[in-house]
Structure 1
């Protein structure tokens, strides 16, 4: 059924973009503040 091929690509695009947005949100809320805190604490400890 070749008429369903564009819907397959739209489905892939929607799921891909939603996954990327979810990943970006998770990194910005959970991963990056922890990494920043570790970096700042290491920098502070080396200056002591």
Structure 2
């Protein structure tokens, strides 16, 4: 496994950053991410 935490909720208003992040993760060979670690604060 190669990955880490990813917090896309920090960039919800910047769709271009989200798309670039996905491309960069693919280029880096990332195959596992932890999502929603800090999303609970938005509930």
TM interval, shorter chain, is 0.3 to 0.5
Higher relative CO (Cα under 8 Å, sequence separation at least 6) belongs to: 2
Larger Rg, first or second structure (1 or 2): 1
- Could you tell me the TM-score, scaled by structure 1's length? 0.33
Q: With the length of structure 2 as denominator, give the TM-score of the two structures.
A: 0.37
Q: Of Structure 1 and Structure 2, which has the larger fraction of its residues in strand? A: 2
